[in-house]
């Protein structure tokens, strides 16, 4: 019989409060009032001298409470970084400002740090939040009185996912407000399986980012008591929420490192203390940039003998991406990242007396050493004597053996740490050149920590690969070259990419949420042919036509770009430059840029940013790219989680080349991205062999589930799941006559069918005709899906309060629906065409055609209403007005008309909100139109401009000031924005 959750709680607290863990159990703290009282006591004890033993007054502490009650977990994280490791609150006492230390992150496991654990905290319902109820939290860990780690436990009868859902529900209800808004890390467990994740809004949480702990040898630590011993004891727990937490300014997200990242950093720290070098083998896509940032930072912060840490990378375009990531992480950190615009800047920073973390390229380093620093000068002597730690990204290619030797001879007091996802081993070593190193180990020293692709896929740190090896298997060797260079082959490739890969591009996700793909070819001339032919397809001049359903979903698909070095082929350099000029003009016309050939580097940087979509503006469809054509650029070191597919039309690459290229596709992104998709178009038998060899090499043996099931296996799975559902419920109507218990079984079986059907449709060889042999159609699936949704809703309504039945509570989304989401702009174009059709001068007008077109438009708008009812109601209103008066919009721009109607509806909602919270309409309007990714542009300004006095005068049961601000922001995000965001678009 499974242990009761109360017993699990008791055992966990006993472990946390054991001598080795250093936590103190506080059974007396059960309410928010208790928490504030305890926090106040610790704050006053740690600041006795500054307070001169005079306790904080009620008004002073009210100010403190307001200051540490944050609008988001990210904001709390920014505050907890502190200033030089100290976290402050500021209190005005008379004419003096008291800077009180809340927490000193240098005092880990000692000093002023107080470690307490509480359980069964009572989080009372909030009358201002719909559906809110009284809740009890399981276990919470406080540092200096502040809740920083929260744990929810389930017994073995339930999945840890139930704990995750519970936390998500509590966040949605606003339970993590006030002092609880400071939580940085969540832990969920059912005793035998334990995961942790960083704090985020409920809408931002993703089950894919739940992380299990592994030890230094990558052995899973699943038991909750073992997890507590490894992660939740002091100093580890304190380090998790300080030293191993990263704040990403660009995404406004709080990130906690995964265990393999932490082990790598610790291994580098241990080696550096001994003056040893080595390399880190972490599979591509597992977050090496973040690991290397923290490692480079910690080497400088933790090792006093290191004067400079230098993060060395290759190529200027990747310099920009890495530098941008580093600066985003460092913006809320206690360290500065210094980039080097040129060699002069590099010399200046190296000669500076400050201890610094520097990001630069090996090209700049080479120029500095070989040409710019003059022997015997002050700068030369000072820089050469520096004690430097080099951290090298993509170390298999960023620094060649000869280059490293040159740099190492100059910096004689240096240690080196290389990061790579594809080390060079004996099996694929460099050619022998004198006594230069041939393998990664010879170049950098021993492997300090490894985390292979097999382990990363197993842990869910990266996705597996869905590989299709297409192309004829029976071409004679002497005919291959001619066939693969033919226009017919190119047309076949493009037809597969454009018309047989909608699921790979995620077109079903809707506008702005689709995925990207990369096409890599063997030469610049081939890349140019592909791009030129794609332009013909887009202009309607080619044989290949886009499927009408695809145009309906995304009228501008495919948005394309190309990138290559104009000096890759010296003989063709002039023609390549001329071609690139044309490509730049096309890019400029689409995206409103003005790049010319002399600014090719700036173009590449902009293209990289656009592909990566890490800046908010690139989340808009107008700013996105669907397909980029490359030769070798972007195949290594480039990070774009929204890139889902790699199309390969070239001979097989080296083992490291294949894994590097594949790994552009398998970053975690959203819930629907299940695999990194790879499609090869040449020599399918040879490609399969080469891929298997590469995966075996970089998985240290068998590669487990790195490759998804092939077409034949997926077809078998679909056949079985379809047969099973038909046996259980021969028709959709039969499912409605099942018992409640049987309905739950039906839900599980249909999810299996949905998953297998979606997987089947993700293959480029899928066509609807394949279903004929099963006497099944997309329409049959849709009918089953409609019944499935009705049953799930019925079960949810009948479930007991707080039921943890996974079938009912699981937030599973169907993924095999037939229809793509209708694009709003597509409908507006149709409306414009309809209005033009009604013009008296149109000789083709007739009433029958009018009725037909009107009915067709109503059906399309009705379909659109499933995703955006607010906009659909406006579109339906337009159609109603046209039906009453065909001439009403004659000669007018329908886009302008509809936008005016949208803005009127938006203003109505904004005015209601402004009146409720006593804020100016202009302030609310500004925040509404600049609201992105769940964040306000200037939250503090909105709070400051709200007239609390006026609100209090006319509001019965008015909220206190410190609750008013958080309620205002919560209402803005949860009530106003859901209504007007669909209208804003």
The pair phi, psi for residue 180, each rounded to 5°, is -75, -5
Count H helices, E strands: the chain?
Answer: 40, 25
Q: What is the pLDDT of residue 199?
A: 97
Q: What is the pLDDT of residue 820?
A: 64
Q: What is the pLDDT of residue 705?
A: 73
Q: Considering all CA atoms of the chain, what is the largest pairwise distance in Å, rounded to the nearest integer? A: 92
In this structure, what is the dihedral angle of CA atoms 219, 422, 466, 634, given to the nearest 10 degrees?
140
Q: What is the pLDDT of residue 127?
A: 64
Annotation: CATH topology of 711-809: Methane Monooxygenase Hydroxylase; Chain G, domain 1 (1.20.58)
Cβ pair 660, 648 in contact under 8 A: no
CATH (one of 3.40.50.1980, 3.30.2130.10, 3.40.50.360, 3.40.50.300) for 463-697:
3.40.50.300
Q: What is the pLDDT of residue 445?
A: 95
Domain ranges of the chain: 5-248, 257-451, 463-697, 711-809, 824-892, 902-984
Q: Do domains 5-248 and 711-809 have the same CATH topology?
A: no
Separation CA 950–CA 930 (nearest Å): 26
Residue among 328, 298, 254 nearest 77 (CA): 254
Sign, Cα dihedral of 966, 967, 969, 973: positive
Output the CA–CA distances (angstroms, integers) from residue 71 to 155, 468, 932, 964, in the order listed.
Answer: 33, 46, 15, 12
Residue among 546, 543, 520 nearest 533 (CA): 543
DSSP letter string, 190-241: -SS-EEEEE---TTT--GGG-B-EE-TT--EE-SHHHHIIIIISTTHHHHHT
| Residues, the chain | 985
Residues of the chain with pLDDT under 70: 1-3, 127-132, 315-324, 330-339, 567-572, 702-704, 799-811, 817-821, 933, 985
Separation CA 213–CA 236 (nearest Å): 13
Q: What is the pLDDT of residue 1?
A: 39
Annotation: CATH topology of 257-451: Rossmann fold (3.40.50)
Cβ pair 876, 942 in contact under 8 A: no
Cβ pair 652, 658 in contact under 8 A: yes
Element containing residue 310 per DSSP (H, E): strand 308-313
The DSSP code for 935 is B
Output the CA–CA distances (angstroms, integers) from residue 754 to 22, 324, 715, 717, 727, in the order listed.
Answer: 49, 40, 13, 11, 16
pTM above 0.75, yes or no: yes
CATH (one of 3.30.1360.120, 3.40.50.2020, 3.90.1570.50, 3.40.50.2300) for 5-248:
3.90.1570.50
């Amino acid at each position: 019989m499974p242990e009761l959750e109360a017993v699990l709680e008791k055992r966990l607290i006993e472990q946390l409060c054991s001598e080795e863990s250093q936590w103190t159990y506080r059974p007396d703290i059960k309410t928010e009032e208790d928490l504030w009282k305890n926090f106040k006591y610790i704050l006053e004890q740690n600041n006795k001298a500054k307070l001169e033993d005079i306790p904080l007054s009620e008004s002073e502490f009210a100010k403190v409470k307001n200051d540490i009650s944050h609008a988001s977990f990210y904001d709390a994280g920014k505050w907890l970084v502190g200033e030089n490791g100290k976290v402050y609150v500021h209190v005005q006492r008379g004419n003096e400002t008291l800077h009180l230390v809340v927490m000193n992150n240098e005092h880990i496991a000692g000093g002023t740090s107080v470690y307490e654990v509480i359980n069964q905290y009572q989080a009372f319902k909030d009358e201002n939040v719909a559906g809110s109820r009284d809740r009890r939290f399981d276990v919470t860990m406080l540092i200096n009185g502040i809740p920083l780690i929260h744990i929810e436990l389930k017994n073995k009868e339930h999945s840890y996912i139930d704990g995750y859902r519970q936390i998500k529900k509590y966040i949605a209800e606003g339970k993590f407000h006030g002092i609880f808004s400071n939580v940085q890390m969540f832990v969920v467990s059912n005793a035998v399986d334990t995961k942790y994740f960083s704090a985020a809004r409920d809408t931002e949480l993703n089950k894919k980012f739940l992380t299990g702990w592994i030890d230094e040898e990558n052995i899973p630590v699943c038991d909750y008591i073992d997890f507590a011993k490894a992660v939740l004891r002091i100093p580890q727990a304190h380090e998790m929420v300080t030293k191993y937490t990263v704040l990403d300014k660009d995404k406004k997200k709080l990130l906690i490192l995964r265990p393999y990242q932490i082990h790598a950093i610790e291994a580098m720290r241990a080696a550096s203390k001994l003056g040893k070098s080595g390399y880190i083998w972490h599979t591509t896509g597992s977050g090496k940039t973040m690991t290397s940032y923290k490692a480079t930072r910690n080497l400088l912060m933790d090792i006093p003998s290191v004067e400079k840490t230098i993060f060395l990378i290759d190529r200027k375009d990747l310099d920009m991406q890495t530098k941008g990531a580093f600066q985003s992480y460092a913006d809320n950190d206690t360290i500065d990242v210094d980039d080097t615009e040129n060699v002069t800047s590099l010399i200046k920073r190296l000669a500076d007396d400050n201890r610094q973390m520097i990001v630069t390229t090996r090209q700049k380093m080479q120029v500095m050493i070989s040409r710019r620093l003059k022997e015997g000068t002050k700068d030369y002597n000072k820089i050469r004597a520096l004690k430097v730690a080099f951290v090298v990204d993509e170390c298999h290619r960023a620094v060649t053996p000869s280059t490293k030797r040159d740099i190492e001879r100059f910096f004689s007091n240096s240690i080196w740490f290389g990061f790579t996802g594809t080390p060079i081993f004996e099996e694929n070593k460099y050619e022998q050149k004198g006594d230069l190193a041939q393998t990664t180990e010879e170049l950098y020293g021993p492997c300090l920590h490894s985390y292979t692709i097999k382990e990363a896929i197993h842990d869910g740190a990266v996705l597996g690969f869905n590989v299709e090896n297409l192309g004829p298997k029976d071409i004679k060797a002497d005919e291959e070259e001619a066939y693969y260079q033919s226009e017919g082959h190119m047309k076949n490739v493009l037809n597969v990419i454009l018309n047989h890969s909608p699921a790979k591009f995620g077109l079903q996700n809707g506008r702005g949420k689709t995925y990207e793909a990369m096409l890599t070819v063997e030469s610049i001339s081939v890349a140019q042919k592909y791009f030129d032919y794609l332009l013909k397809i887009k202009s309607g001049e080619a044989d290949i036509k886009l499927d009408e359903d695809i145009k309906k979903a995304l009228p501008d698909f495919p948005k394309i770009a190309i990138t290559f070095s104009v000096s890759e082929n010296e003989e063709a350099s002039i023609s390549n430059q001329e071609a690139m000029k044309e490509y730049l003009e096309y890019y400029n016309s689409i995206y409103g840029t003005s790049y010319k050939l002399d600014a090719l580097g700036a173009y590449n940087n902009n293209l990289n940013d656009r592909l990566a979509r890490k800046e908010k503006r690139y989340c808009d469809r107008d700013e996105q790219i669907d397909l980029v054509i490359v030769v070798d650029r972007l195949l290594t070191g480039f990070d774009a989680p929204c890139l889902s597919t790699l199309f390969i039309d070239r001979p097989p690459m080296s083992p490291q080349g294949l894994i590097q290229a594949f790994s552009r596709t398998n970053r975690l992104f959203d819930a629907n991205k299940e695999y990194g998709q790879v499609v090869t178009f040449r020599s399918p038998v040879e490609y399969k062999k080469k891929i298997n060899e590469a995966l075996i090499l970089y998985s240290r043996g068998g590669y487990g589930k790195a490759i998804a099931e092939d077409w034949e296996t997926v077809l078998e799975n679909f056949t079985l799941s379809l047969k099973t559902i038909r046996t259980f419920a021969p028709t959709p109507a039969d499912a409605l006559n099942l018992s409640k218990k049987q309905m739950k079984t039906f839900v599980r079986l249909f999810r299996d069918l949905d998953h297998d059907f979606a997987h089947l449709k993700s293959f480029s060889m899928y066509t609807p005709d394949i279903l004929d042999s099963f006497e099944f159609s997309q329409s049959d699936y849709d009918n089953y899906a409609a019944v499935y949704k009705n049953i799930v809703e019925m079960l949810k309504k009948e479930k007991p309060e707080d039921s943890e039945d996974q079938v009912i509570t699981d937030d599973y989304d169907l993924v095999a629906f037939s229809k793509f989401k209708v694009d709003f702009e597509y409908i507006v174009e149709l409306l414009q065409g309809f209005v033009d059709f009604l013009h008296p001068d149109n000789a083709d007008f007739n009433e029958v055609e009018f009725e037909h077109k009107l009915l067709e438009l109503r059906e399309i708008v009705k379909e659109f209403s499933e995703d955006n009812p607010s906009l659909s109601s406006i579109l339906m209103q337009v159609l109603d007005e046209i039906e009453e008066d065909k001439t009403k919009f004659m000669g007018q721009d329908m886009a302008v008309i509809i936008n005016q109607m949208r803005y009127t509806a938006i203003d109505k909602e904004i005015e209601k909100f402004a009146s409720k919270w006593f804020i100016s309409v202009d302030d609310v309007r500004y925040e509404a139109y600049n609201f992105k990714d769940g964040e306000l542009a200037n939250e503090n300004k909105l709070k400051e401009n709200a007239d609390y006095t006026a609100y209090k005068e006319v509001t019965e049961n008015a909220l206190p000031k410190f609750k008013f601000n958080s309620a205002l922001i919560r209402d803005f995000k949860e009530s106003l924005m859901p209504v007007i965001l669909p209208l804003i678009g």
